[in-house]
Amino acid sequence: MDLKWYTHGDARDVRSLLLDIHDEVYADDPDPFHSRERFSYFVDLWSGREDWRCVSGWESGGPVGYAYGSKFKPGGWWKGTDRPGGVRGRIFALSELMVVPQWQGTGRARHIHDALVQSADVDFVTLLVDSTHSRVQALYEKWGYVKQDEAKPSDDSPMYAVMVRPLRTD
C-alpha cells in the first residue's frame, strides 16, 4: 500500500477525497450525524488547524482509507470530558480513521494509523470511538489503547469511549 501525506496547506485539495470515503463508509447509515453535510463541518474544523496532518492509503490506483488529526493545545482535551490524570505532555488527537468497506479487516487501517501516529512526536495519542461499536473498541485495545472515560461532545453525537495510548517509552 502506498501512503500519501497531507498538511493544513493541502486541506482544500484533499477535502473531497475525505468526504467521498466517508460517504462510502456510511452509505447505509441514516443517522443525520453521519451525513456528508455534518461530516464536512468536522473535516473543515480539524483541517483548519495549522498542525493538522493526514495520511491516506492507496492500492491499485484507488483509495484505501485515511487517518487525520492534530495535537491538542496545552490543556486541551475532548469536549464533554476531562483529561485523565497522568495524561500529560504532548497529546495527539486522532480525529478520524476510515477505511473503505472493501479494505476493512485487511490490516490496512493499522498501517495507516501507525504511519500517522508515529509521525506525530507526542507523548500520548487519544481518540473517540462510538461506545456501541464494541468490536472497534476491542481492536483499538489490541493496538494499545485503554478506555479512560466516555463523552458526548454534542447533542447529536453518539456516546463515545475516550481512549488513550501512551507513546513515550520512559
Residue given cell 476531562 in the structure block: 82
User: Would you say residue 65 has pLDDT above 90?
Assistant: yes
- Highest-confidence segment of 62-66, 78-82, 154-158: 62-66
Q: What pLDDT was estimated at residue 169?
A: 60
- Angstrom distances, CA of residue 19 to CA of 6, 84, 167: 15, 32, 29
Taking residue 82's Cβ as centre, other Cβ atoms within 10 Å add up to 11
For residues 107 and 120, give the distance between their C-alpha atoms in angstroms, rounded to a whole number: 21
CA distance 83 to 148: 9
- For 120-145, write each residue's pLDDT tens digit: 999 999 999 999 999 999 999 999 99
**Domains defined for the chain, CATH in brackets:** 2-166 (3.40.630.30)
pLDDT at residue number 46:
96
- 92 close to 43: Cβ distance less than 8 angstroms: no
Q: What is the pLDDT of residues 5-60, one digit of tens each?
A: 999 999 999 999 999 999 999 999 888 888 899 999 999 999 999 999 999 999 99
Rounded CA separation 110/67 (Å): 10
First to last CA, the chain: 32
